[in-house]
Structure 1
């Protein structure tokens, strides 16, 4: 797993992060990870598979039962980033 170092964080920001982490019952490091994950994977984002399934439903190409079957089979794990090493 990758590591990130963030320099020159203002003291008031660091203090606010510590308070927020305490409110959520986790370490400051875990809180920062949660913030980064939430910022990069927004819950309301449009997913291509969902969009294509909704287009097919509207066009009459899929029944609700077929669409539900596709939804159950869909892989929801995040894709691995490309490596250029």
Structure 2
């Protein structure tokens, strides 16, 4: 698992997070882990932006017949 070091946090922020963790019976580290885990999933808009970014960065397929590839893949299922 990875680790992250966050610098220059305001002391009041740290104290508030410590208080929240204490109220839940958790360590500050566990509270931060829970907060980051909850904030990490991508929203629908972020997923769409990621797909668009990947499409822009992907090379164009000039002589590729998508329909033929789909048919071939579908036909291969029946050969097994």
Unpaired stretches in structure 1, ≥5 consecutive residues: 47-85
RMSD: 1.6
Q: Which residue matches 1:15?
A: 15
TM-score by length of 2: 0.50
TM-score by length of 1: 0.47
Aligned mates of 2:32, 2:41 — CA distance in 1: 14
Specify which structure has the bigger relative contact order, considering alpha-carbon pairs within 8 angstroms and separated by 6 or more residues. 2
Deviation at 1:24, TM superposition (A): 1.1
Q: Which residue matches 1:31?
A: 31
Aligned mates of 2:26, 2:16 — CA distance in 1: 14
Deviation at 1:40, TM superposition (A): 1.2
Off by >2 Å, runs of 4+ in structure 1:
none
Aligned mates of 2:3, 2:40 — CA distance in 1: 16
Question: How many residues are treated as equivalent by the alignment?
Answer: 44
Unpaired stretches in structure 2, ≥5 consecutive residues: 45-80
Deviation at 1:20, TM superposition (A): 0.5
Q: How far does the alpha carbon of each residue in 1:56-75 deviate from its partner, in whole angstroms, 9 at most, with x for none?
A: xxxxxxxxxxxxxxxxxxxx
Q: How far does the alpha carbon of each residue in 1:22-77 deviate from its partner, in whole angstroms, 9 at most, with x for none?
A: 011110011000000011137xx67xxxxxxxxxxxxxxxxxxxxxxxxxxxxxxx
1:25 aligned counterpart, secondary structure: coil
